[in-house]
Amino acid sequence: MNETRTDPESLALMDTGNLMASNFIVDFIKDDLGSGRYTYVHTRFPPEPNGWLHIGHCKALMVDFSMAQQFEGKCNLRFDDTNPEKEDISYVEAIKRDVLWLGFDWEGREYYASDYYEYLYELAVKIIKKGKAYVDDLSEEAISEYRGTAVEDKTHITNTPPGRNSPYRDRPVEENLDLFARMRQGEFPDGGKTLRAKIDMASPNLLLRDPVMYRIRRDTHYRTGNAWCIYPMYDFQHPLSDAKEGITHSLCSLEYEIHRPLYEWFIREAEVFPSRQIEFARLNLSYTVLSKRYLLKLVQEKYVSGWDDPRMPTIAGLRRRGYTPEALRNFISQIGIAKNDSMVDIAFLEYCLREDLNKRSPRVMAVLRPLKLIIENWEPGREEELEAVNNPEDPTAGNRQIRFSRELWIEREDFAEVPPPKYYRLYPGNQVRLRYAYVVTCTGFDKDPGTGEITAVRCTYHPETRGGNAPNNRKVKSTIHWVSCAHAVALEVRLYDYLFGVERPMEVPVGASFIDMLNPQSLDVIPAAYGEPCLGKAAPGDRYQFERLGYFVRDTDTLEDQDQEGGKKPVFNRTVGLRDTWNKIKEKTRI
């Protein structure tokens, strides 16, 4: 895969912000350097290539890379690829692309746990020789039955009755070595035998009840092919892969906390470099799910158009939706790193996004639900150029010329035949300003006698009000946006709502699935919108603010349209609306 960074945004230097500078992990690392436990800092980001990265991984990446950066250390990218059934090279490629896009660079330190199979095998042999591992003939089901069932609450495993020893637990070392070698040779069927660590069948932590180290699986691995028919389990593989790379601080999410004694056991028994595992809280976000297993189901069962569907919390989905790497990194910096799991309000993510887009997005006008406005005192064929500000937040962005003519598209909802109370936009007799152009007075409208639908609105313009000049006798209470019918380009616009209809889609009632929590209205396609001509030349990924409507990004999709230049109709995604709900939440809860 070509690893050059083609997206200019990824060239931005990783700026993890000062908020990452102090947290409990920093304190641990300082202690370790102070006590001489380590003389350097080396971290790793270890995705399993069984899905695309999501925003939770952005947090993990930021923790791994920023801790290394802060202590002038290094951070590896390691693919934890020891489960052949679910892994694929396409995932490796997608992960690398997303990591780079987010602005993180592993500087050539790209590793694969599958490259360590021989090393891991030798360490397993070493542990067998010490009498600390044995080959078991029990089936995987029998193993879990012998292990027993945990009686647990969320944090502590308590009152769990002891498990039962396997009848094969006390096999002599020689026999174990012979059987393990024959497992590798392919003498036994899939699932016929396992290699287990001999730890403690009475431990209150079930993970320590003789965990499986190797299982037999005749699956083709995307990198090692059929070279192996035994595959190492995560808990055995991960600490020893860390050790092989000289990783000092193995930073991972909180669900691995109960795995830590096992992590330490394997390091100790294999007598390898003593990497240290430190856990931090996972990122949980409202109205979405952050688990690859669940995201995979949405993709496979076609509830979304793919891993990069703009409604997905994946990095690729967020990118296609119009998120910037800066907004994502800033969001992670702001929420910080803590030890306790919590749920972050998605409105806060959107707030961070708007902060960034407001600064960088050129403003343009587009009309989503068009209604024709006819200026009766403007001669047919006459055109004028008006000046519009590109970005009031950025004086360097300059101005542009926009075309004005007799027939314009305005939003259908900016006209009312009978105005409701406090309606200040167009209705017969009322006047409004057309943004950057003139004040117009509504003189009437056309109605289809059959359907009752308004087909056009009529008005007259006031020449002396050109641009910003509104004399006192023309005070208007509202300004509406428009595009010139003769010049506008047709667009398809896609509006999005949250993918799930409930805040916590994982907490479903008994008998229901998280699928039942999907929001049926999460996608609204507007097939016939119009925008300023420059939108016809936008490249995928170009971002704009459509005045009064929100932030939009040019999608990767282009549709056929014979009426349009080049026969193409661009698609735009709404990234986020203009209205900020976060400040309201902040006020309410005094955050």
Q: Residue 419: what are its φ and ψ, rounded to 5°?
A: -70, 130
Closest to ligand ATP by CB, 250 or 430: 250
Is there a contact between 72 and 227 (Cβ–Cβ < 8 Å)? no
81 Cβ contact list (under 8 Å, min separation 6)? 48, 49, 87, 92, 112, 113, 114, 221, 222, 223
Q: Catalytic site residue 537?
A: no
Contact of residue 253 among ligand ATP, Mg ion, none (CB under 5-8 Å per partner type): ligand ATP
- The span from the CA of 45 to the CA of 278, in Å, is 13
Closest to Mg ion by CB, 107 or 255: 255
Task: Indicate the DSSP class of residue 21.
Answer: T
| Furthest-apart CA atoms within the chain: distance in Å | 102
Helical pair 346-360 and 582-589, crossing angle rounded to 10 deg: 130
CB of 1 to ligand ATP, least distance (A): 18
Contact of residue 292 among ligand ATP, Mg ion, none (CB under 5-8 Å per partner type): ligand ATP
Closest to ligand ATP by CB, 181 or 338: 338
Helical pair 234-244 and 260-270, crossing angle rounded to 10 deg: 60
Closest to ligand ATP by CB, 333 or 430: 333
Q: Using H for helix, E for strand and C for coil, what is the string for 275-323?
A: CEEEEECCEEECCCCCCHHHHHHHHHCCCCCCCCCCCCCEHHHHHHHCC
Closest CA to 231 of 79, 90, 120, 92: 120
Candidates 48, 264, 269, 393; catalytic one: 48
- The span from the CA of 584 to the CA of 591, in Å, is 10
SS3 133: strand
Q: Which residue's C-beta sits nearest to ligand ATP?
A: 56
SS3 374: strand
Q: Catalytic site residue 184?
A: no
Contact of residue 322 among ligand ATP, Mg ion, none (CB under 5-8 Å per partner type): none
Residues 20-49 that bind Mg ion (CB under 5 A): 48
CB of 251 to ligand ATP, least distance (A): 7
The angle at the Cα of 369, spanning 364 to 370, to the nearest 5 degrees, equals: 80
CB of 285 to ligand ATP, least distance (A): 8
Binding site for ligand ATP (CB under 6 A): 46-48, 56-57, 59-60, 252-253, 282-283, 290-293
Closest to ligand ATP by CB, 46 or 531: 46
CB of 536 to Mg ion, least distance (A): 44
CB of 113 to Mg ion, least distance (A): 12
Candidates 5, 86, 217, 282; catalytic one: 282
Q: Residue 414: what are its φ and ψ, rounded to 5°?
A: -90, 5
Contact of residue 260 among ligand ATP, Mg ion, none (CB under 5-8 Å per partner type): none
CB of 48 to Mg ion, least distance (A): 5
Closest to ligand ATP by CB, 283 or 571: 283
523-531/366-367 β-pairing:
antiparallel
Contact of residue 47 among Mg ion, ligand ATP, none (CB under 5-8 Å per partner type): ligand ATP
Residues 330-369 that bind Mg ion (CB under 5 A): none
CB of 252 to ligand ATP, least distance (A): 4
- The span from the CA of 352 to the CA of 327, in Å, is 6
Is there a contact between 395 and 388 (Cβ–Cβ < 8 Å)? no
Contact of residue 442 among ligand ATP, Mg ion, none (CB under 5-8 Å per partner type): none
Residues 47-76 that bind Mg ion (CB under 5 A): 48
Closest CA to 84 of 110, 111, 105, 113: 113
Closest to ligand ATP by CB, 61 or 373: 61
Contact of residue 282 among ligand ATP, Mg ion, none (CB under 5-8 Å per partner type): ligand ATP
Closest CA to 257 of 340, 179, 181, 314: 340
Q: Residue 238: what are its φ and ψ, rounded to 5°?
A: -65, -50
Contact of residue 434 among Mg ion, ligand ATP, none (CB under 5-8 Å per partner type): none
CB of 262 to Mg ion, least distance (A): 15
Q: Residue 103: what are its φ and ψ, rounded to 5°?
A: 100, 15
Q: Which residue's C-beta sits nearest to Mg ion?
A: 48
Q: Catalytic site residue 292?
A: yes
Closest to ligand ATP by CB, 53 or 366: 53
Candidates 196, 260, 292, 354; catalytic one: 292
Catalytic residue numbers read 48, 282, 292
Site for Mg ion, rule CB under 5 A: 48
